[in-house]
Structure 1
Amino acid sequence: MTTTDTTAAVPAARAYLRPATATDAELTDRFQPVFDRIAEGNVARERDRILPHEQVGWLKEAGLGAVRIPVEFGGSGASLEQTFALLASLAEADANVAHIWRNHLAFVEDRLNAAPSESNDRWLRRFLDGEFVGGGWTEANNGTFADLKTTVREDGDRWLVSGAKFYATGSLYADWLDVLGKGDGDAVLTALVRRDDPGVELVDDWKGFGQRTTASGSANYTDVPAVAGDVFPAGERFVYQGHFYQTAMLSVLAGITRAVLRDGTSALRARGRNYPQALDPVPSSDAQLLQVIGQVSVDAFAAGAALARSSRTLDLVAEALGTGDKEARERRVLEAEVATAQAQLAIIDAALRATTTVFDALGASGVSETLLLDRHWRNARTLASHNPRVYKARILGDWLVNGTDPVPNLAAVGRGGQGD
């Protein structure tokens, strides 16, 4: 159970989006102590591949899953910029735990953007009660969104979901699973099904060398029921969902750059020997080694600045949606697409550089499995491989020079997809 008061009624006649009311200080006071507890066991969980069920539970109890819900409905009233800043701080503590929250926070955002209804009121109450949503969009066996094999079919007064998914991030920690599938004809639907239904099979078979405890493996569905109010047309998902999914990933990368700065600084202070070519026999007094750590701090700063700037554009999109300003919405979605792509390139470059060059300040002792500093590069490299960074600079250049629309045409699954 969360510490949030769930007795607040959600008005059925008004939109759910509201201007943010939370202060940075309030959010830090509430969540940073939890992040600090999570950080304590990060290395051991990474080394022994211990799934962080307990740590996810702490965050549910603290109300992280309802951080974007307006205060008048019982949530924390955070902005998107504040939400992604929190996610980066969580990633500094544990990049795996932070990534687990990506799908849940995105579905909360989707319901905040949805038309008020009894079923959506019910979803907000579930979030306030700490119920958690995992993902299930990417088709298994090299399937694509254009060739969905998963089905969401009507069966009397309910729906049945069948299919196979991969990259089901967060599923082992979830109460609900958000599954994309084909409906009648060309309809593409998302269905929310209960994780503990006997027709759900979750397999912890994620083989990536990073993000090892995110439960990003396989999910199989066999005639899993979904009720009315828990099935939605994918094309009606919130317009900035692709930017949201991408920015959540960038938040984790920004957090990793801060974590490697923290750990690199600590490791240099503890280093006892230096090379004959060094400028000083004491490593922590060697100007060249200090320069390495200084550059890592620049990477961490750049990643944080890019995250803040790009996430602020999403708040502007949400603001336009809340006021119903269609012209502003279209303009701001385009601005968010450009900013998110620019942030992706800036943050990935910063994270990969920082997690590699930090070893130049540490010598052979830096590769000790006791320190496990390689986890930062492995996690950053894994996250950076999710979406096509290689294409982004070309797309940005085509927009700037030729005016070619940079927003991907993924209308078949909702504009923007999951960040692809």
Structure 2
Amino acid sequence: MSAVVDIRRATRVNAPDENFAPRPRPSGPAHVITSDAEAIEIARHLAADFAKDAALRDREGLLPLDELDAFSQSGLWGINIPKAYGGAGVSYVTLTEVIKIISAADPSIGQIPQNHLSILEHIASDGTEEQKRFFFGEVLKGIRFGNAFSEKNTANVGTFETRIVEDGDNVVVNGQKFYATGALLAHIVPIVGLDEDGNSFLAFADRDAPGLTVINDWSSFGQRTTASGTVIAENVRVPKSRVVAAYKAFARPTAAGPISQIIQAAVDTGIARGTIEDTIAFIRTRARAWVDSGRDKATEDPFTISAVGDLEIRLHAAEAILERAARLIDVALADPNEDTVAEAAVATAEAKVLSTEIAILAANKLFELGGTRSTLAAHGLDRHWRNARTHTLHDPVRWKYFHIGNFYLNGVKPTRHAWL
């Protein structure tokens, strides 16, 4: 009889310590996507591969090393780079569809580029021409940006203790970050810190910069392979030419907040889509009709049929609102002003509410409709609930209801920040 293993203490496969070597830079340029249609086609092709071992990676804690390289080399990490700088400049309708497709296959992989894509918009909005040419050029070569934004020991998510101090032609960064999705496997880690006036800046540090430590200590029960752990900056020196004023995006009307949020909503919608697909497959092949139904197959059980219909309706509603929000973001990017940005923010908040609700509902219904056998470890279906419950906590929907209601009832435009 085998011993019981406490998984909280077990060494997880492919879970590196703080000495984990940075990923090598790409040996050649990434593919450059030229159209919205091509982006969708490539996303579908990659998703088919990513789905094959998604349950295995979740169960064993395997970081998606090869998958992430394929993802960034595919060109999808550069699709929101403007055409003037060599990118595809796709619509946000397309970008959110790409994230949905990937997240339906493996939401950990779908989440990893979230900050990378948002940061590209910060560069487009507030970077200098030299910065745009340099950073966009790097991404088109396959370079990945990580994330060193949030801090877990401050009063709230908008409060930072990390400091950026000028020193000649460089800045010096000191601080500690958590929820640093993508940093472990990035080539460049943008670190958010405050200057002496309290303004926030993005300092783009090389992943192997002296004083920069990235630790894979992400221990959540969901989104297990995002490596969203700790980043420690100890006197990390970054050239001033690689520092972008992040605060400017929220000092005036821009789509920065809605863009950050809509990618999160796209991940949740993708989780819902993947969960419902697995629910239907399980009902068709493994579930049994309930004894009182008088039917031979679960697919003939009237209450099961109705429940699947309800899930599909709610999923389609979430997808429709997500698409509407994406279109309004495209409008706000083309004509940024108080009204267009507020409309995009409110619509994105609506998408976040519906995507959260359907992701969690779908994960719950999977087990109700699949029956007890659907909880068996061999099927790996528990990852859907764990991923949905974890990722939908990114920003609380209880405040989304408030901002949405305050806008429609009292005409109050939402506050501008990265979570709205």
Over 3 Å counting, the alpha-carbon distance change for 1:210 and 1:119 in structure 2 is: same
Q: How does 1:7-22 map to 2 (within 5 A)?
A: 22=35
1:336 positional shift: 0.9
1:54 positional shift: 1.0
1:145 positional shift: 5.9
Secondary structure (helix, strand or coil) at the match of 2:237 reads strand
Secondary structure (helix, strand or coil) at the match of 2:179 reads coil
Q: Which amino acid aligns with 1:138?
A: S
Partner in structure 2 of residue 331 of structure 1 = 339
1:116 positional shift: 4.8
| Whole-angstrom distance in 1 between the partners of 2:168 and 2:90 | 40
Partner in structure 1 of residue 410 of structure 2 = 402
Over 3 Å counting, the alpha-carbon distance change for 1:196 and 1:279 in structure 2 is: farther
Partner in structure 1 of residue 333 of structure 2 = 318
| Whole-angstrom distance in 2 between the partners of 1:134 and 1:171 | 4
Give a deviation string over 1:222-255, Cα, whole Å, max 9, x none: 1111112211222223722221111111001111
The answer to whether the 8 Å contact 1:174/1:195 transfers is: yes
Q: Of residues 45, 49, 52 in structure 2, which corresponds to 1:40?
A: 52
Give a deviation string over 1:78-113, Cα, whole Å, max 9, x none: 111111110010001100001001010011122222
Which consecutive residues of structure 2, in runs of 5 or more, have no partner in the other structure?
1-27
The answer to whether the 8 Å contact 1:240/1:416 transfers is: no
Q: How does 1:35-74 map to 2 (within 5 A)?
A: 35-74=47-86
User: What TM-score results when the alignment is normalised by the length of structure 1?
Assistant: 0.88
| Whole-angstrom distance in 2 between the partners of 1:171 and 1:23 | 27
Secondary structure (helix, strand or coil) at the match of 2:224 reads coil
Q: Of residues 347, 357, 365 in structure 2, which corresponds to 1:357?
A: 365
User: What TM-score results when the alignment is normalised by the length of structure 2?
Assistant: 0.88
1:375 and 2:383 correspond:
yes
Q: Which amino acid aligns with 2:146?
A: G
Partner in structure 1 of residue 24 of structure 2 = none
Identity over aligned pairs, percent:
29
RMSD of aligned Cα (Å): 1.9
1:32 positional shift: 1.6
Aligned residues: 390
Q: Which amino acid aligns with 2:35?
A: A
Give a deviation string over 1:302-344, Cα, whole Å, max 9, x none: 22112111111110111114xxxxxxx2210010121111111
1:137 positional shift: 1.3
Which consecutive residues of structure 1, in runs of 5 or more, have no partner in the other structure?
7-20, 322-328, 409-414
| Whole-angstrom distance in 2 between the partners of 1:273 and 1:362 | 8
The answer to whether the 8 Å contact 2:30/2:142 transfers is: no
The answer to whether the 8 Å contact 1:257/1:303 transfers is: no
The answer to whether the 8 Å contact 2:36/2:88 transfers is: no
1:141 and 2:153 correspond:
yes
Partner in structure 2 of residue 307 of structure 1 = 322
Over 3 Å counting, the alpha-carbon distance change for 1:5 and 1:307 in structure 2 is: closer
1:278 positional shift: 2.4
Partner in structure 2 of residue 194 of structure 1 = 206
Give a deviation string over 1:339-387, Cα, whole Å, max 9, x none: 1111111221121111112222211111121222221121111121111
1:62 positional shift: 0.5
1:155 and 2:192 correspond:
no
The answer to whether the 8 Å contact 1:95/1:252 transfers is: yes
| Whole-angstrom distance in 2 between the partners of 1:272 and 1:106 | 41
Partner in structure 2 of residue 326 of structure 1 = none
1:179 positional shift: 1.1
Partner in structure 1 of residue 417 of structure 2 = 416
1:298 and 2:333 correspond:
no
1:147 positional shift: 4.6
Q: Of residues 31, 51, 74 in structure 2, which corresponds to 1:4?
A: 31
